[in-house]
Structure 1
């Protein structure tokens, strides 16, 4: 195999590496800026020259054989060496660049992440952010998103990431629109979340403890729920990073430990070393660490009568 590999040119290694990463010929051809037929023909020539197959053709795509894994690993090492030499000759490594797709919830985005992302863009203008808000779990394996910022106690096992904080929830209202704290459960008008967010612990609590006729409104977003409390529509449990930063709200009870959830930065294992994604994850991790006291509700509770 050593003698055979010596006959390969760098363009052959690039082609093998591209097919190994894309696992299909059209995507590999696109990454190399050549025709699909060119990749197919050249791959057959390389395998014929080496005398053994590099890939097995499955319905799911092109899968490396054991010999193919060795050649692809060599191609990756050669590519890294060439890139390192090129950067040294240029005098500095290029700044991370490209698009990062972010999936998160509206409340996390608007009430916590937005200033962090603004500072990140100032520091890294070559990285473009494509942000999707919602509560549906996007498929990072299919590249629906590159980075997920989620509140969950059970992140998918197929993803890797960092647990950044424990999101605290507490009860909030406005001074003008709520009864005395002792009468909340008995007399207060409550706001809740629709069934689409029924998995949240605060929503489950209201279903168990508050009669339906006492729930004035339901919302399909935590951000809208916070706005409704601030407008005086009623009481609601909210994340402390939202409730404690709204001047029109006041916390009416200590955080409920049973309502808390972990805040995660998650990505696909294949993407975690991508420079633009690693740069964004590191920046957000540092920002969120500084905000941890707010996220975890660590402030004195001021009760007003």
Structure 2
């Protein structure tokens, strides 16, 4: 299997080649400009969205992006953002959604930690008390039953760093854990979260918003790690 970083570089070169194949005059004519605000989970922002922005800027140098991350749900309905990548499907509002794929989670630890710890003595890293409504937090709570986490973090990146510091086991995105050479434990325990692209329906009439949306759709469609075999909802 191609390493994740090599996969990103290969995709970027492929997309850049497509851009260069476009007629330069037509490319200038079709350039968009202005600000597009995107909310995206931090794990996808750092490892996927940010590396892919270069090709977007090459095609549209006057385009500006405001990228926000965090586990809290930025409100598309109140127009806090133009586009949002979310793991929770909106159930109301005048929004257009498209399923981009699915994000797989499992339990991981470092080789050093697992080598020096017995399974019954594993320490677990989870979410803070104020974040127990998150799907990942609920999944971990059901698994642990009456056992408590030794460390609670309010971001996924902090949990990843805590695992790398041999502080315990955490439930992490599989593609990130594999990228960091972490080892999976409890192989029967796993969670899959759908990934949705969400937009206020009316903003898609904006050329700059639609351009960024199409770029994100193309990005995820190229990444087979997110292809769960489930069809897409049409973005109109």
The bucket for the TM-score relative to the shorter chain is 0.7 to 0.9
Shift of 1:294: 5.4
Helix, strand or coil: the match of 1:135? Answer: coil
- Rg: which structure is higher? 1
Structure 2 counterpart of 1:14: none
Q: How does 1:1-305 map to 2 (within 5 A)?
A: 93-152=29-88, 154-158=89-93, 159-178=95-114, 184=119, 186-210=120-144, 214-247=148-181, 249-254=182-187, 256-257=189-190, 259-293=191-225
Conserved? CA contact 1:107–1:221, under 8 Å: no
Q: 1-side partners of 2:83 and 2:225: how far apart?
A: 24
More helix by share: 1
Task: List alignment gaps of at least 5 residues for structure 1.
Answer: 1-89, 297-305
Shift of 1:279: 0.9
Instruction: Count matched residues.
Output: 202
Q: 1-side partners of 2:146 and 2:167: how far apart?
A: 16
Q: 1-side partners of 2:127 and 2:176: how far apart?
A: 16
TM-score, normalising length from structure 2?
A: 0.75
Shift of 1:234: 0.5
Helix, strand or coil: the match of 2:209? Answer: helix
Cα deviation digits, residues 183-211 of structure 1 (max 9, x gap): 53x22111111133323333213323326
Helix, strand or coil: the match of 2:98? Answer: strand
Q: 2-side partners of 1:274 and 1:244: how far apart?
A: 38
Q: 1-side partners of 2:141 and 2:128: how far apart?
A: 11
Task: List alignment gaps of at least 5 residues for structure 2.
Answer: 1-24, 229-236
TM-score, normalising length from structure 1?
A: 0.59
Q: 2-side partners of 1:292 and 1:196: how far apart?
A: 34
Quote the RMSD (CA, aligned, Å): 2.6
Shift of 1:213: 5.9
Shift of 1:261: 1.3
Which sits farther off after the overlay, 237-246 or 286-295?
Answer: 286-295
Structure 1 counterpart of 2:7: none
Q: 2-side partners of 1:262 and 1:168: how far apart?
A: 9
Q: 2-side partners of 1:205 and 1:285: how far apart?
A: 28
Higher relative contact order (CA 8 A, sep 6+): 2
Q: 2-side partners of 1:122 and 1:136: how far apart?
A: 31
Structure 2 counterpart of 1:26: none
Cα deviation digits, residues 119-176 of structure 1 (max 9, x gap): 3223322110011112222222332110101112x32432112101111111110000
